[in-house]
Chain A
Amino acid sequence: MSLAKRIIPCLDVDNGRVVKGVKFVDIRDAGDPVEVARRYDKEGADEITFLDITASSDDRDTIVHVVEHVAEEVFIPLTVGGGIRKLEDVRTMLNAGADKVAINTAAVFNPDFVKEASDRVGSQCIVVAIDAKQISADGEPLRWEIFTHGGRKPTGLDAVEWARKMVEYGAGEILLTSMDRDGTRMGFDIALTHTIAEAVSVPVIASGGVGNLEHLAEGVLQGMADAVLAASIFHFAEFSVHDAKAYMAGRGIEVRL
């Protein structure tokens, strides 16, 4: 009897379709987001995250409609990220039926935006998404840096310091993606996950690299993550969310079954 570790399927949405790329290239179509969300809900997902990767801002309305439709029939927490740059974007998503928004690049360019948003809608609605890459060489003490633009642009920001700063600014949760692992199916960057989870007082969602069910368990047991996020292993029906939960329960992890 205690708080369950969460399993969060993530849907990368491009122009209203679910896609999943390997290291942000080779994008494969994985279906209609409303249908996919419905399936995850039935399988027992604890939350669902939508990342809008639509390149053109003109097509942003598509994700709003997706969220509206999903929120009409799926009654679990919904998070939306991608292109959240101003307070109006936050409000639009919450009004469409999202419970939380994930702020990524905009936080890097304007940290005060996180403060402003959490002041206005409450920290519980604000997730700060952090994309980190290891920059220390072999044998050096581990260090990670924040990257933007899908892992292409370094920012000079240290990941641990940045995570702490974002919590101070009002982030209610950290969505932590390893850019070294994202799309590789090699498992989470456990050292990164553990380091950030220990450094901040708010829940940390581990992301990037899940290729099998043991990886999910590792994120919790070794990475100390409060929640684990995965995309491709669920999209192509390799494993259901229920399979993942049953596996984690078998590893002694408290889950909602």
Chain B
Amino acid sequence: MSMIAVVDYGMGNLRSVDKALEHVAQSGQHVHITSKAEDIVSADRVVFPGQGAARDCMRELTERHLIEPVLQAAREKPFLGICMGLQVLMSRSEENDGVDCMGLYQGEVRFFGKELNKDQSIEPLKIPHMGWNNVTQTISHPLWHGIKQGSRFYFVHSYYVDPVNEAIVAGETSYDIVFTSAVACDNVFAVQFHPEKSAVDGLQLLKNFTLWDGQ
């Protein structure tokens, strides 16, 4: 029996992530929602979702003593970050007047509003960036397997990651500006969109994750 741990820190709708993973899991794979450090450490694969505000996510992770186990998992086993689970891997977020994040990758999490709507002559873009947008795959990766270049995924967010090291960018999306919508580095893959809500292509990405050895 191999275990896919879905990290529960009270932020976001784990039920959707859990159901989608169950739907694509291989036989012998067990999906387990957990907030226990030992489960995260002993799991074969870790999914790190998240929704809501950066400050609340970091507070919950800290109070539940999950920062170290999550970082450890991100260093050694197949690891999938989703939405806020991508953002808190960065050094710092602009949200809530500035929040220190987990710092696995150098870079800021920035608010869309500063860049959007500078051009007064066109209809202003809405925030949050909500709905189905194209993802340009900037590298080939096992998690993009079977997914067409430029496929649409479901997004809902007001902040985006801006990694210092461009080599970790795995996907980009345009919403007035071009921003990083997927990151890949060693055994970590993390996405701004919601694969669990992105119909066939989202399920394919999750299925790819269940098969990925982290190489």
Residue positions of A touching B, CB distance < 8 A: 1-6, 41, 46, 71-73, 75-77, 94-99, 121-125, 172-173, 201-204, 224, 226-227, 256
The residue of chain A having its C-beta at the shortest distance from the C-beta of B15 within the complex is: A97
The residue of chain B having its C-beta at the shortest distance from the C-beta of A74 within the complex is: B199
- Interface residue tally on B, bucketed by range: 35 or more
Q: Does B103 contact A (CB under 8 A)?
A: no
Q: Which residues of A contact B175 (CB under 8 A)?
A: 2-3
Q: Which residues of A contact B203 (CB under 8 A)?
A: 75
**A4 and B133 contact, CB distance less than 8 A:** yes
The DSSP consensus for interface residues of chain A is loop
Q: Does B30 contact A (CB under 8 A)?
A: no
Which of the residues B123, B150, B154 comes within 8 Å of A77, measured between beta carbons?
B154
Q: Does B202 contact A (CB under 8 A)?
A: yes
**B174 and A172 contact, CB distance less than 8 A:** no
The residue of chain A having its C-beta at the shortest distance from the C-beta of B50 within the complex is: A122
**A75 and B126 contact, CB distance less than 8 A:** no
**B13 and A75 contact, CB distance less than 8 A:** no
Q: A256 to B174, alpha carbons, bound, how many Å? A: 15
Q: List CB contacts (< 8 Å) of B128-143 with chain A.
A: 128-134, 136
The residue of chain B having its C-beta at the shortest distance from the C-beta of A44 within the complex is: B199
Which of the residues A41, A75, A125, A173 comes within 8 Å of B51, measured between beta carbons?
A125
Q: 1/0 per residue B180-215: CB within 8 Å of A?
A: 000000000000000011110011000000000000
Q: List CB contacts (< 8 Å) of B19-40 with chain A.
A: 19-20, 23
Task: For residue B23, give the distance in angstroms from its CB to the closest CB of chain A.
Answer: 7
**B51 and A124 contact, CB distance less than 8 A:** yes
**A122 and B133 contact, CB distance less than 8 A:** no
Task: List 21 A-B residue pairs with CB atoms under 8 Å apart, sorted by A's residue number.
Answer: A1-B134, A1-B150, A2-B133, A3-B129, A3-B155, A3-B175, A5-B131, A73-B23, A76-B197, A76-B198, A76-B199, A77-B154, A121-B52, A122-B51, A122-B52, A122-B53, A125-B13, A172-B128, A201-B126, A203-B126, A256-B152
Given contacts A2-B175, A256-B132, contact A94 B15 (CB under 8 A): yes
Task: For residue B193, give the distance in angstroms from its CB to the closest CB of chain A.
Answer: 12
Q: Which residues of A contact B123 (CB under 8 A)?
A: 224
**B132 and A71 contact, CB distance less than 8 A:** no
Q: Does B127 contact A (CB under 8 A)?
A: yes
